[in-house]
Amino acid sequence: MKYKKILVAIVGVLLSTLCYGQDKGYKSYGIGDVVDHVPEFQNVVNYPKKSFSLKELRGKLVIIDFWATWCTSCIRLMPHMEKLQKQFDGKIQVILVDPWETKANIEKQLSILKLYKTPQALSSLPNVIGDTIWRKIFVHSSVPYQVWIDSSGVVIATTTGKNATAEHVQQVLDGKKVKMVVKRDIKSSGYDVKKQGLIQTGDTSMHPLFYSAMLRKNAGYGSGALVHTDSALHLYKYTARNLPLKALFTDAYADMKPNFRMKIDVTDTVSFNYPKDANLVDEWNAKNQYSYEIAVPLSLKDSVRSFMRIDLNRYLSVEKGVAGKIELKRMTAYVIRRITDNILKPKSLTEEHTKYDTNLFHKYNVPYVEISSWLSYLENLKQSIVFVDETGIALNTTVFVDLPKHTDADDKKGLIEILRKQGLVLSKEERMIPILVIKDVTN
């Protein structure tokens, strides 16, 4: 028995040592910490070596830019990060890291994105792909997420990509303190906003029947929107996190899509438009981004959008002195109709997929809403252009369609030709168009 106890003790020591050996590379770091014990970056592309360590970069400002192929904000940021790297070459090192997806999936997505000639596919920045360990070293649950490490290896910021400006970089290089919003991940403290929502009761015996709330920007969780059905409490919950006013109104009128249009007619236009100076974005976000949550009985889930519209007008009439209302406006519209009933028929019975060539996306067995979404995209490019779909085709109808990669909404002849090949005709006519007009509240 004595020898068994000794053996158990030895095994325990060995196991604890082994666990330490596995865990010691997973220590998490935050602001003020010296990053002194981390593994090398693995699976690196756009770098002389397939792996390298942070210690090799001592003496430089290092910006680790966490991203994912599904993150459009991350993708839009990449050309700017590349510009910063060139501007401060030799003094900083930007490293792209996607720890969320497998190496195979990232490579597949990048191979497709190269056909679009998108920034992340063609970026020359070092790109660490599929190395999941970095999620544990710099804990975060949403992207974009950046970690700034100074020349001494000290974490000086965990922030958003909006703070990656030439002014901030220069201030760090000059040894000055830089004021940047801290992106503190609330999920790391045990609270998962996506699962638990924004509003929680203080006791499990408290069962809410109906509520709504609006909160100010919180950098501790990401942005987005989701719905949750609680079958036990018979509740339907909708949550929108850290969204600007335009996005909140767009969500509130989502049941009008794809024909939703908005006009901002207010005195305080600053509240509705991102500042052009990236150094002012943190301050603007704090003042003009909000979260909203509503919970209703399951029997009322179809009324959530109408409740949200009422709430936004009630809250924002007090907070910002503005409110939104649908108005009919006479406008010049480009009306789309069918030439024949046998248009856009699927060319095969295979599953939905897309083929790419130089100028076109060939979309097989996709819902007709793809065309409506494409036209809405063109409307967003030029607010003076309005498209009205009078084809009578249901949005969920399965079709085959060719869509151009690059389209100029001002090129009417080109649009007419593209649509004609799809069996559609485009004509210029007058129409009464419903528009959400956001105005100042008058007493």
* Domains, the chain: 24-184 (3.40.30.10), 199-320 (no CATH), 329-437 (no CATH)
State residue 11's pLDDT score.
Answer: 41
Instruction: Kindly state the tokens that stand for 416.
Output: 């007419």
What is the distance between the alpha carbons of residues 215 and 242, in angstroms, rounded to a whole number?
A: 9
pLDDT mean over 280-293: 93
Among the ranges given (80-89, 138-147, 184-193), the one the predictor scored with the smallest mean pLDDT: 184-193
Q: Read off the pLDDT of residues 324-380 as tens digits, 9 standing for 90 and up.
A: 999 998 888 889 898 876 656 655 555 555 665 656 666 667 777 777 777 777 775
Q: Count Cα atoms within 13 angstroms, Cβ side, for 383.
A: 5
pLDDT at 2: 47
- Residue-level pLDDT at 92: 98
> What's the rounded mean pLDDT across residues 370-398?
76
> Residue written as tokens 């330490």?
20
- d(CA 240, CA 243) in angstroms, rounded, equals 7
What is residue 356's predicted lDDT score, i.e. its pLDDT? 56
Cβ distance 105 to 74 under 8 Å?
Answer: no
Highest-confidence segment of 23-32, 149-158, 410-419: 149-158
Quick one: pLDDT at residue 256? 80
Q: What confidence score (pLDDT) does residue 421 get?
A: 77
pLDDT in tens, 171-205: 999 999 998 988 877 776 677 777 788 887 777 78
**What value does the mean pLDDT take over residues 308-337?**
93
Is 70 or 159 the better-scoring residue by pLDDT?
159
pLDDT given at position 21: 34
Work out the average pLDDT over 113-130.
Answer: 72
Residue 212 has pLDDT above 60, yes or no: yes
Mean residue pLDDT across the chain: 83
Q: Tokens 């050996």 — which residue?
A: 21
Percentage of residues in the chain having pLDDT higher than 90: 43
pLDDT of the residue at 258: 64
Per-residue pLDDT averaged across 95-121, rounded? 74
Position 306 scores a pLDDT of 96
User: Higher confidence at residue 299 or residue 426?
Assistant: 299
pLDDT value at 431 more than 80: yes
Instruction: Note the pLDDT of residue 318.
Output: 95
- Spatial CA neighbour of 295 closest among 237, 239, 240, 231: 237
pLDDT level of residue 19 (50, 70, 90 thresholds): very low
Query: If you average pLDDT over residues 120-126, what whole number do you get?
Result: 75
Q: What is the pLDDT of residue 73?
A: 83
To the question of pTM greater than 0.85 for the whole model, the response is: no
pLDDT at residue 240 is higher than 90: yes
Grade residue 239 by pLDDT with cuts at 50, 70 and 90.
very high
Whether 286 shows a pLDDT value over 80: the answer reads yes
User: For residue 164, what are its two tokens?
Assistant: 């990656």
Q: Given this model, what pLDDT does residue 12 score?
A: 43
